[in-house]
C-alpha cells in the first residue's frame, strides 16, 4: 500500500461531507434520485467540476447515464448510453477497476481535449459500483484541481455507501 502524508483534519472534514451526501439519500429507494444526490453532493461539497453516475441497464450490456451535475446536467448526450467496454467509463465497468488521472487533457483516451482544456479540468476519478460481484454502474468525478490520494480513499468510501444503497433500491 502506498504511503502518503495527509492532513487528518482534512480527511475528517471530507468524511463528514461524505456523511452529509449519504444522509441526503438515506432511505431513498429510487436509483435515479440516489444518483442525483450523489452527483450534486460531489459538485457542491467537493468543488467537483462535474460528476456523473451511470447505471447498468437490465440487458447488462449498456450503461445509462442517470445523473450529471456541474458543468453539464444533460443525461441524453454523447455519453448518455455507453456500451460496456466503450470509452473510459465502459472500460471501468468491464474491467471492474477504478481509474484516476491528474492530467486529463494529456490522456490519449480523452475524446474532447478542448473541453477539458477550456474548462480547466485536470483531475478525473472513475469507480465501478460493484455489489456481490455484479456491476451496478460507474461513478465519475471531474475536477479543476489534482485529486489527492487521501481524497481518493474518501471517494472510495462514498462509492461503497452508494453501491449498497443502489443495490437495495434496484432490488426494491
- If one counts every other C-beta atom within 10 angstroms of the C-beta of residue 67, the result is 22
Looking at residue 59, what is its pLDDT? Answer: 81
Decide which of 17 and 6 is more confident: 17
155 found inside a domain: yes
Does the pTM of the predicted model rise above 0.95?
no
C-alpha cell, 120? 480547466
User: Which CATH number fits the domain that encloses residue 124?
Assistant: 3.30.450.40
49 found inside a domain: yes
Q: What is the domain extent for residue 49?
A: 9-171
1 found inside a domain: no
SS (H, E, C) 6-69: CCHHHHHHHHHHHHHHHHHCCCCCCHHHHHHHHHHHHHHHHCCCEEEEEEECCCCCEEEEEEEE
Q: What is the pLDDT of residues 31-67, one digit of tens each?
A: 999 999 999 999 999 999 999 999 999 888 999 999 9
Q: What is the pLDDT of residues 95-129, one digit of tens each?
A: 999 999 999 999 988 988 999 999 999 999 999 99
- Based on the structure, what is the number of domains in the chain? 1
Amino acid at each position: 500500500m502506498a504511503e502518503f502524508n495527509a492532513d487528518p483534519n482534512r480527511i475528517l472534514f471530507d468524511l463528514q461531507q461524505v456523511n452529509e451526501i449519504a444522509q441526503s439519500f438515506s432511505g431513498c429507494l429510487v436509483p435515479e434520485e440516489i444518483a442525483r444526490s450523489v452527483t450534486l453532493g460531489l459538485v457542491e461539497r467537493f468543488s467537483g467540476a462535474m460528476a456523473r453516475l451511470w447505471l447498468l441497464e437490465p440487458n447488462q450490456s449498456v450503461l445509462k447515464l442517470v445523473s450529471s451535475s456541474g458543468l453539464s446536467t444533460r443525461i441524453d448526450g454523447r455519453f448518455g448510453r455507453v456500451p460496456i467496454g466503450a470509452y473510459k467509463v465502459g472500460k471501468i465497468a468491464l474491467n471492474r477497476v477504478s481509474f484516476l488521472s491528474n492530467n486529463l487533457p494529456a490522456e490519449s483516451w480523452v475524446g474532447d481535449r478542448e473541453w477539458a482544456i477550456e474548462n480547466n479540468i485536470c483531475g478525473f476519478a472513475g469507480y465501478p459500483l460493484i455489489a456481490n460481484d455484479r456491476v451496478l454502474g460507474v461513478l465519475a468525478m471531474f475536477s479543476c484541481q489534482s485529486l489527492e490520494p487521501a481524497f481518493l480513499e474518501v471517494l472510495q468510501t462514498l462509492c461503497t455507501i452508494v453501491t449498497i444503497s443502489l443495490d437495495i433500491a434496484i432490488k426494491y
